[in-house]
Structure 1
Amino acid sequence: MSVSATVPHAVDRIGLATVLLVALGLRTALGILQPTELTHDRDAYLGIARQIAGGQGYSSPASTTPTAFRPPLYPLLLAAAGSVFPWPAAVFLVNSIGSTLLIVGVWLLADSLGLRCWQRIAGLLAAVDPLLVQYAGQPMTESLFAGLVAMWLASAIRPSTGWRGDSLTGVLFGLAVLCRPTLWPLAGLYALIWIWRLAGGIRAGALRAACLRLPWAGVVAAAVVVAPWALRNQMVFGIPLLTTTHGGYTLLLANNPVFYRDVVSQSADIAWPGESLQSWQTDLAAAIHTELGPSAGEVAEDRLQSRWAWNYIREHPRAFRDSMGYRIRSLWRLAPQGQATGSRVWLSRAAAGFYLILFLLAGAGLMRVFLTGNVQRWLPLLLVLVTIQSVHLFYWTDARMRAPLVPVLVLLAVLGLEGLTSRRRAAAGD
């Protein structure tokens, strides 16, 4: 059932427009207050985008060497916007598109999950999320990825609308994994679910019917979206890479003896000291050069680093266990690590307070999902939660890695809030 079937269009549009204005207003203010952050290229996305816009192809910054170190969607969008606007405006535009998709996705999710009365609260929680506001002012994927995940979820939880609806869901999934590959294991979880359904069809003697119920159009649509990236990598690197050549590094970054010694084994959780990290990176580059030579290429380096990481995990199970605990705490940290000064102290405390309340409400909402037998309805959101947490048991983790979980968390939070208010009304009625 659509929103317009139960509430006036004007009220709904006003609420959505208000939430969007809050989200874009906060991000505009941040861009004005911190204009240099819009081009502070920590992850080389902007550098790759400049190469594309300059006709050098998808190559490493300041070179003509093809790369697959970063996923392609965000740099491609930056390059398109940067061909028309100055680079700071291009970053702001692409991130604002991501923020808009997030709000719209959360709005649609609240409607589909029976939380229509809580749409504005859910939208506002997503709009003011401190991490997403912060990273909307930088050339990083958090805003776009969170928005694509929200839109994919909104499409995935709807009742089937035929091949067109399934195709849209597949397209959104393909775009999401091209923005950040973290979501790829979700496809494996769905594959297991579909295999289970096929097995049920075999037991019931209705295999053909079970096959026809599978979202083949969505699978094909996702494959069509991802295929150009895989084909490009086949032509450039000789391998149809669906992800990036960055995974081995991030796995090794989170599983090595220096990280364990200087970070995990400390008495309190700390960020990796800059001097220690830089020294480790220098030693790593030298070790790769010694092992592979000067011109091995990204794919060989990625595989080598992945092999070193898995060797360390197998040989040091206790260190790996302790590191997993550190990564879980890092993903769910209330406030950024590091020493805040001046006004940032209050901002850090405000962010911590926001997340403390959000997590408590989301926890209450998660309990309601299971206690009320609503797991099937919420399954796509729960699978995203499981996927992101599972990936970051192994790979490098900090709080910004939970950006794709924002739509899940805010919907669970308003479900928890609905439960609390319903209980108070019931108590008042008694």
Structure 2
Amino acid sequence: MRNLENFGLLAILVVAAVLRVLAVLLFPHQPASDELAYLAMAENYLGGRGLVDSLGNLAFYNAGYPLFVLVPVAHIFDELVVGARYANVVLSLGCVVLCYLIARAIGLGAWGRFSAAVIYAVYLPAGVYSVYIAKEGLLAFLMLLLAYCIINLSRRIGIYYSLLAAIVIAGIALVGNAGLSVLASLVVGVCLSNSTPMQRVAALFIIGAVSMAMLAPWVQRNQEMVGSPVLNTNGGFNFYLGNNPNATGYFMSVADTPVGSEWEKMRAELGEVGASSALRVMAFEWIVKNPFEFFELALKKAVYFWWPPLHDGEGSGGGMEKIVRTLWLIQFLVLIVLAIGSIFVAWPSDKDKLLFWLMLTAYTGVHMVFYVIYRYREPIIPLVAVCAAVSLDSLARRYVQNGARA
């Protein structure tokens, strides 16, 4: 039976790989914006100039994706962009496997385990975003791996999953700060585990100490390079883009904010840390003066974050793109309906239900504070797929039970 299930998972991975490789081969996308920054960071690092982005910043962008993906693949592929895309494919396939493993860990039946893997395997954006030189694929993999650790630690504290969680947390901190919102679920999971209070405290201490120790070299590097022990210097900048008199809830260029005409001067005079800190202060001042507008805007961001993909893309808008976008819309709506449905069905463990929805809520909440780009929800979609699989597994169980009664 196990061999048959392994064969089924392998078949799902083959389908997922074909879809993602086809996207890499057929989707005409030229790197832009953040992608160019990541590529510049990798190229400058390989050239001995350090992790410097395309605008000359030393710590503005998260360093994880260039360090963990772009730099290694540059030693394998002659063309960095091509190598990065195939690395993204591998990461996405890893997410498919983790969806299956997490579904198994929470006690879903064969139907639920395969459903979790299939949903993410055929989810179109997972293939399309393999083409982008962006951090979301790596962040999705790391967040799933942390979720897997959380599920296991919530059963019983163990040194293996504690250390793995610490390593993954350090990775997430370097790749995408929003992913750290999952730590809320980690703390709750450890506290709800079937271990002694001392073991729970020890686990949290070990996880925190090891992850901070792993991040120490990067923090020290930034202290020396930009004058502040930070993970990156874009926090205040992004906070201001999401909270200013012109904010819409979506990403906006700093040029469209009230400080647009002064930004380059601020950046030159105050440096990365100083300019970002100044924007953070401005954002807080706006929030204090406009608390109701801030609250209303935050609610809008929550809606925008989960809004169906009805927006136009970057392509020509031709027939094939319209077909793909229509299929994506259908997939997304079905996925969300099934995931919401999991709230109303019995999970194998109520503890897992709490932990999963805490992860989804916390990750959404982070973007309610900053701003929304549709690409930013991709790292959490695999966890949504597992929630959807819970609904499908429940339906399968009822069908079998009804058949047995008949």
TM bucket, shorter chain: 0.7 to 0.9
Tell me: CA distance 1:94–1:289, structure 2 relative to 1, closer, same or farther (3 Å).
same
- What SS does the aligned partner of 1:70 have? coil
Match of 1:245 in 2: 233
8 Å contact kept, 1:258–1:280: yes
Whole-angstrom CA distance in 2 between matches of 1:307 and 1:19: 49
Superposition RMSD on alpha carbons, in Å? 2.9
Whole-angstrom CA distance in 1 between matches of 2:267 and 2:178: 30
- What SS does the aligned partner of 1:423 have? helix
Does residue 168 (structure 1) correspond to residue 160 (structure 2)? The answer is no
Whole-angstrom CA distance in 1 between matches of 2:197 and 2:356: 28
Whole-angstrom CA distance in 2 between matches of 1:112 and 1:175: 23
**Structure 1, residues 176-198: CA drift from partner, whole Å, max 9, x if none?**
2221011224435655777x78x
The number of equivalent residue pairs is: 395
- Superposition deviation, residue 295 in structure 1: 3.1
- What SS does the aligned partner of 2:368 have? coil
Does residue 83 (structure 1) correspond to residue 72 (structure 2)? The answer is no
> Identity over the aligned pairs, expressed in percent?
21
Tell me: CA distance 1:187–1:413, structure 2 relative to 1, closer, same or farther (3 Å).
closer
Letter paired with 2:239 = L
Letter paired with 1:106 = C
Letter paired with 2:395 = L
Match of 1:4 in 2: none
- Superposition deviation, residue 285 in structure 1: 4.4
1:111 to 76, 100, 104: 104
Does residue 383 (structure 1) correspond to residue 371 (structure 2)? The answer is no
Higher relative contact order (CA 8 A, sep 6+): 2
Matches within 5 A, 1:219-368: 219-242=208-231, 244-260=232-248, 277=253, 279-280=255-256, 284-289=259-264, 292=266, 294-338=268-312, 341-343=317-319, 344-368=321-345
Letter paired with 1:211 = V
Letter paired with 1:257 = P
- What SS does the aligned partner of 2:247 have? helix
Tell me: CA distance 1:279–1:303, structure 2 relative to 1, closer, same or farther (3 Å).
closer
- Superposition deviation, residue 140 in structure 1: 0.7
Letter paired with 1:218 = I
Structure 1 unmatched ranges of 5 or more: 1-6, 265-270
Does residue 410 (structure 1) correspond to residue 401 (structure 2)? The answer is no
Whole-angstrom CA distance in 1 between matches of 2:273 and 2:136: 25
Whole-angstrom CA distance in 2 between matches of 1:189 and 1:34: 36
Match of 2:65 in 1: 74
- Superposition deviation, residue 32 in structure 1: 1.0
8 Å contact kept, 1:358–1:410: yes
Letter paired with 1:163 = I
- What SS does the aligned partner of 1:103 have? helix
Letter paired with 2:317 = T
Match of 1:3 in 2: none
- What SS does the aligned partner of 1:392 have? helix
- Superposition deviation, residue 253 in structure 1: 1.4
Whole-angstrom CA distance in 2 between matches of 1:310 and 1:218: 32
- Superposition deviation, residue 425 in structure 1: 4.1
Match of 1:181 in 2: 177
After TM superposition, the structure 1 stretch with the greater mean CA deviation from structure 2, 146-155 or 11-20, is 11-20
Match of 2:117 in 1: 123
- What SS does the aligned partner of 2:48 have? coil
Tell me: CA distance 1:97–1:218, structure 2 relative to 1, closer, same or farther (3 Å).
farther
- Superposition deviation, residue 379 in structure 1: 4.1
Whole-angstrom CA distance in 2 between matches of 1:380 and 1:224: 26
After TM superposition, the structure 1 stretch with the greater mean CA deviation from structure 2, 180-189 or 302-311, is 180-189
After TM superposition, the structure 1 stretch with the greater mean CA deviation from structure 2, 360-369 or 181-190, is 181-190
Match of 1:396 in 2: 371
8 Å contact kept, 1:160–1:166: no
8 Å contact kept, 1:126–1:407: yes
Tell me: CA distance 1:210–1:93, structure 2 relative to 1, closer, same or farther (3 Å).
closer
Whole-angstrom CA distance in 1 between matches of 2:183 and 2:141: 18
Whole-angstrom CA distance in 1 between matches of 2:102 and 2:333: 23
Match of 1:148 in 2: 142
Whole-angstrom CA distance in 2 between matches of 1:36 and 1:319: 37
- Superposition deviation, residue 289 in structure 1: 4.9
Q: So what's the TM-score if we normalise by structure 1? A: 0.83
- Superposition deviation, residue 375 in structure 1: 3.0
Whole-angstrom CA distance in 2 between matches of 1:102 and 1:302: 34
